[in-house]
């Protein structure tokens, strides 16, 4: 799950001290992943995009079910979507909680250079999804990289 650290970083999640909302998804593929590809208790990588370097910085956990993203109905929000029908909200959010921060950033370049991770979706050319699935093998392969 990607976030620009200038907007919301893993340190912001740590500072929250408990579950926080993962909001602002405005892409249907991502919406479907949020709805269908995660369940309470699942763990997810926290990825910093547009960062120096961009990469995976830690692990968080999905806390509860998907629910309508409240920002879509908030005219003051940058994520406001006036075309989303209140009786059938377009956009979903999840609550996540902090699990662990890596000792160092596992950068895109390192992911790309690591045998076994070549097929990770985040490395695919032109991919722009902010949430995407990871295989079990990829999960374990990434966890082995940063050390303690």
Closest CB 125 distance from DNA, rounded Å = 5
Q: Tokens 């929250």 correspond to what residue?
A: 16
Q: Tokens 């479907």 correspond to what residue?
A: 32
Interaction between residue 134 and DNA (CB under 7 A): no
Choices 24-32, 38-46, 92-100, 113-121; region in contact with DNA by CB under 7 A: 24-32
Site for DNA (CB under 7 A): which residue of 50, 74, 104, 135? 50
User: What's CA 85's distance to the chain center, in Å?
Assistant: 25
Closest CB 18 distance from DNA, rounded Å = 25
Q: Please, what's the largest Cα pairwise distance for the chain?
A: 47
Q: Which is nearer to DNA, 4 or 43 (CB)?
A: 4
Contacts of 64 (CB under 8 A, 6+ apart): 19, 40, 94, 95
Interaction between residue 135 and DNA (CB under 7 A): no
Interaction between residue 125 and DNA (CB under 7 A): yes
Interaction between residue 127 and DNA (CB under 7 A): yes
Residue 7 and residue 71 in contact, taking contact as beta carbons nearer than 8 Å: no
Interaction between residue 4 and DNA (CB under 7 A): yes
Which residue from 70, 12, 45, 32 is spatially nearest to 146, judged by alpha carbons?
A: 45
């Amino acid at each position: 799950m990607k976030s620009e650290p200038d907007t919301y970083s893993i340190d912001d999640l740590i500072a929250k001290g408990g579950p926080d909302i993962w909001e602002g998804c405005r892409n249907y593929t991502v919406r479907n992943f949020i709805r269908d590809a995660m369940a309470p208790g699942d763990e997810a990588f926290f990825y910093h995009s547009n960062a120096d370097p961009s990469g995976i910085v830690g692990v968080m956990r999905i806390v509860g079910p998907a629910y309508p993203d409240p920002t879509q109905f908030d005219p003051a929000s940058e994520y406001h979507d006036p075309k989303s029908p209140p009786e059938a909200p377009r956009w979903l959010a999840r609550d996540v909680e902090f699990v662990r921060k890596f000792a160092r950033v596992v950068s895109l370049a390192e992911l790309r250079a690591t045998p076994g991770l070549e097929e990770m979706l985040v490395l695919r050319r032109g991919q722009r999804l902010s949430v995407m699935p990871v295989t079990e093998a990829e999960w374990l392969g990434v966890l082995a990289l940063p050390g303690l």
